[in-house]
Amino acid sequence: MNNDRKSGFVALVGRPNAGKSTLLNRLVGQKIAIMSDKPQTTRTRIRGILTRPEGQVVFLDTPGMHKPKHQLGQYMMEIAENSIREVDLVICVTDASRGGTDKDEYVLEKIKESRVPVILVLNKVDRISDKSQLLHLIEEYQAAYPFIEILPISAKTGDQVELLTQVVYRFMPIGPMYYPEDAITDHPERFIMAELIREKVLLLTREEIPHSVAVVIEQLEMHEDRNILHIHALIYTERDSQKAILIGKNGDLMKRVGVLARQDIESIFGSKVYLELWIKVKKDWRNREHVLRSLGFEKE
């Protein structure tokens, strides 16, 4: 038994669409958080677990920090802010291609209140052709907050992510393993499946549809004799007009959602999948607290 092994919790925070979920997947080496170019994709706290000989790190991918406009948004911000206060280290992720501390004022304000060590990650450097811009960005952020490290990376390509991992372990305290060594997340299968379905809705729709959608796995049954996983999922939206858009002409859009989601679920869980999707309207569900609770959005 190695009594010098380290362990700890690390929160990934930042504005919507900074690349936190892509970074989480890259850090743990497998897709556990959905990704989209739509802001506010992550709605709750996603835990990714990385175990190496030197110890175990539990990364918490949090909702993008923004000023909430509805009950769901308020829930998301409470999750993000609570995560900052409960961890050993914070990684503040910013989109370096859009640069400037003025974009991150709200985030910086929240992490200043935490008094937790913070690493700044300048993400998406693969989009920056003139790398000298990074020097100006680093100087600007150094003046704005006493980060313990500032690292330019690309979560998409993996550039400098291993260096970031080494830095994270350097700042972890000595401690016990919280999860089995082969674990990569503590979220149940239903949660991951529902998120993969929602990811495909985000991919194939636009305007108000992505933010008005929630997915719940109503039934999950494994037919061992045929190695087929039968999934019955409900997609909730807020208006009848949105339901019509999601169904698409002759049901085409929903069929595409089903095909793409099934492929991802089969890839991750290693079984053939029979996926049934149904759409149900729940009027203004993002502002109805009892509905949020019924959909699994519990305050932590």
| DSSP annotation of 239 | -
Contacts for 137-141: CB closer than 8 Å, 24+ residues apart: 137/96, 137/99, 137/100, 140/100, 140/101, 141/94, 141/101
Taking residue 221's Cβ as centre, other Cβ atoms within 10 Å add up to 10
d(CA 205, CA 260): 14
d(CA 47, CA 62): 9
Residue bearing tokens 């109503």: 218
Task: Give the H/E segment covering residue 237.
Answer: strand 228-237
Q: In terms of Cα–Cα distance, which of 60, 49, 50 is closest to 20?
A: 60
Summarize pLDDT for 251-260 with one digit per residue, the tens: 899 999 999 9
Q: Residue 246 in 3-state DSSP? A: helix
Residue bearing tokens 């495909």: 200
* pLDDT category of residue 284 using cuts at 50, 70 and 90: confident
Whether the CB-CB separation of 273 and 229 falls below 8 Å is answered with yes
In total, the chain counts a number of residues equal to 300
Average pLDDT of the segment spanning 17-42 = 78
Summary count for the chain: helices (H), strands (E)? 9, 9
Q: What is the pLDDT of residue 299?
A: 54
Summarize pLDDT for 86-135 with one digit per residue, the tens: 899 999 999 998 877 777 887 888 888 878 899 999 999 999 888 888 89
Task: Give the H/E segment covering residue 152.
Answer: strand 149-152
| Lowest mean pLDDT segment, chosen from 64-73, 124-133, 235-244 | 64-73
Summarize pLDDT for 172-194 with one digit per residue, the tens: 999 999 999 988 888 888 888 88
Q: From residue 297, how far is each of 179, 229, 238 by CA, in Å?
A: 24, 26, 16
Q: What is the pLDDT of residue 51?
A: 96
Q: C-alpha angle 239/277/45, rounded to 5°?
A: 75
Beta-carbon-side half-sphere exposure of residue 165 (alpha carbons within 13 Å) = 22
Q: Kindly report the average pLDDT of the chain as a whole number.
A: 85
Burial label, 200 (beta-carbon count in 10 A; 0-12, 13-18, 19+): buried
Residue 12 identity (one-letter amino acid): L
| Start-to-end C-alpha separation, the chain | 34
Whether the CB-CB separation of 286 and 71 falls below 8 Å is answered with yes
Q: What is the pLDDT of residue 297?
A: 65
Residue bearing tokens 């989209």: 36
Name every residue whose Cβ is closer than 8 Å to that of residue 240 and which is 6 or more positions away in sequence: 281
Whether the CB-CB separation of 5 and 177 falls below 8 Å is answered with yes
